[in-house]
């Protein structure tokens, strides 16, 4: 019952949607019509084999990489391995932590390699790779409530800045988290870097042993998950404002370290209506503004 990858232009006639197995990509290129067409062709050609390549090396991508372990061969897998390498010494991480960002990067690289584009984005399930020619910009927004689609923060990304990757992680997302962050959004130089960093910062927003945090072993939920025996967050009960602050402190401390090391350019950490901003550019002044009343729909 293997399904073919789904590839179609969205009804707006501008964005391309690609789906294969767990990969959902929406992308858009800006430039002349013929260049866009070339870029979309390139994206599609590259996309159709990505999942098979990854699955061919899945067993090693689900293990923490060490100097002794067999190194992955695929181009996407290599992007993943490179992105998580800076964290291998300090925490548990497998290349899977960067898979979405790495796929986004790979597709974007195929597009920019085949066509001249003014700007482009490849959004793989919320992890985004960007291309910006000099003088171009993107406006990036974040929301925590899909039913209202109102932004709790926006940031303008200029070509002159080094940011080309955006990623979001949190325990409510599709991937498991070891932490309790509702959402950690990271801007970094590349999408896979952002993806890996968002994952470990979200893990660091945590209250270990807190009785109101419900955790289970990852393997009890998903037997073949790369997190195995690690406890992953499945629910978060009531937290005091002080506890929320303590949890965010942990994530913020790590984010500032990564900022100093150049691994990230900015991060926004979101937990129960409280937001911490690390290194965000000037245009982010709306960030945090309405955060207080935009937490969960908690009756």
Give the range of 33-41, 84-92, 230-238, 250-258 binding another protein by CB under 8 A: 230-238
Q: How far apart are CA 120 and CA 16, in angstroms?
A: 11
Q: For another protein, give the closer residue by CB, 126 or 250.
A: 126
Q: What is the Cα–Cα distance from 282 to 191, expressed in whole angstroms?
A: 21
| Rounded distance between C-alpha atoms, residue 54 and residue 45, angstroms | 16
Interaction between residue 208 and another protein (CB under 8 A): no
Determine if 282 is a binding residue for another protein (CB under 8 A): no
**Cβ neighbour number for residue 186 with a 10 Å cutoff:** 34
- Minimum CB separation from another protein for residue 130, in Å? 9
What's the min distance (Å) between Cβ of 154 and another protein?
6
Rg of the chain (C-alpha set): 19
Shortest distance in whole angstroms from residue 78 CB to another protein = 19
Among the listed ranges 11-19, 32-40, 109-117, 247-255, the one in contact with another protein (CB under 8 A) is: 11-19
- Which among 82, 18, 84, 83 has a CA at the least distance from the CA of 51? 18
Measured from the CB of residue 262, what is the shortest distance to another protein in angstroms?
Answer: 23
Question: Which of 16, 204, 199 shows the shortest CA–CA distance to 110?
Answer: 16
Determine if 266 is a binding residue for another protein (CB under 8 A): no
**Rounded distance between C-alpha atoms, residue 236 and residue 154, angstroms:** 27
Tell whether residue 236 is a contact of another protein (CB under 8 A).
Answer: yes
193 close to 263: Cβ distance less than 8 angstroms: yes
Closest distance to another protein from the beta carbon of 67 (Å): 26
User: Per rule CB under 8 A, is residue 136 in the interface with another protein?
Assistant: no
Q: Does 134 bind another protein (CB under 8 A)?
A: no
From the list 170, 179, 250, 251, which residue makes contact with another protein (rule: CB under 8 A)? 170
- Count of residues that interact with another protein, criterion CB under 8 A: 69
| Cα–Cα distance, 156 to 141 (Å, whole number) | 9
203-234 as b/e, with b when 16 or more CB fall inside 10 Å? bbbbbeebeebebeebeeeeeebbbeeebbbe
CB of 216 to another protein, least distance (A): 9
User: Hey, how many other C-beta atoms are within 10 angstroms of the C-beta on 257?
Assistant: 15
Which position among 16, 20, 131, 227 is part of the footprint of another protein (CB under 8 A)? 20
- The reply to whether 7 sits near another protein by the rule CB under 8 A is no
Q: Give every CB contact of residue 32 below 8 A, 6+ residues apart in sequence.
A: none
> Which residues contact another protein by CB under 8 A?
1-3, 10-12, 15, 17, 19-22, 24, 26, 51-52, 55, 58, 121, 123, 125-128, 138-151, 154, 166-168, 170, 172-174, 182-183, 185, 211-212, 214, 220-224, 234-238, 293-299
């Amino acid at each position: 019952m293997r399904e073919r990858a789904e590839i179609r232009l969205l009804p707006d006639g501008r964005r391309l949607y690609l789906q294969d197995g767990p990969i959902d990509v929406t992308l858009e290129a800006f430039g002349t019509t013929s260049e866009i067409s070339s870029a979309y062709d390139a994206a599609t050609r590259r996309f159709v084999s990505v999942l098979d390549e990854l699955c061919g090396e899945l067993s090693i991508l689900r293990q923490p990489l060490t100097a002794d372990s067999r190194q992955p061969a695929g181009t996407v897998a290599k992007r993943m391995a490179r992105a998580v390498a800076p964290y291998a010494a300090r925490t548990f991480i497998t290349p899977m932590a960067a898979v979405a960002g790495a796929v986004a990067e790979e597709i974007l690289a195929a597009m920019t390699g085949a066509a001249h584009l003014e700007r482009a984005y490849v959004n793989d399930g919320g992890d985004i790779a960007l291309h910006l020619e000099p003088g171009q910009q993107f406006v990036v927004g974040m929301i925590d409530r899909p039913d209202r689609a109102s932004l709790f923060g926006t940031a303008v990304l200029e070509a002159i800045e080094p940011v080309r990757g955006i990623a979001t992680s949190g325990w409510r997302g599709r991937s498991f988290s070891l932490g309790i962050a509702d959402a950690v959004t990271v801007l970094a130089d590349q999408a896979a870097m952002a993806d890996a960093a968002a994952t470990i910062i979200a893990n660091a927003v945590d209250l270990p042993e807190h009785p109101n945090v419900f955790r289970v072993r990852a393997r009890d939920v998903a037997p073949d998950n790369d997190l195995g025996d690690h406890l992953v967050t499945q629910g978060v009960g009531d937290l005091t404002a002080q506890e929320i602050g303590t949890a965010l402190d942990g994530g913020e401390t790590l984010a500032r370290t990564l900022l100093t090391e150049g691994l990230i350019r900015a991060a926004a950490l979101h937990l129960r209506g409280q937001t911490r901003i690390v290194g965000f550019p000037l245009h982010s002044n709306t960030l945090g503004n309405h955060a207080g009343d935009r937490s969960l729909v908690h009756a």
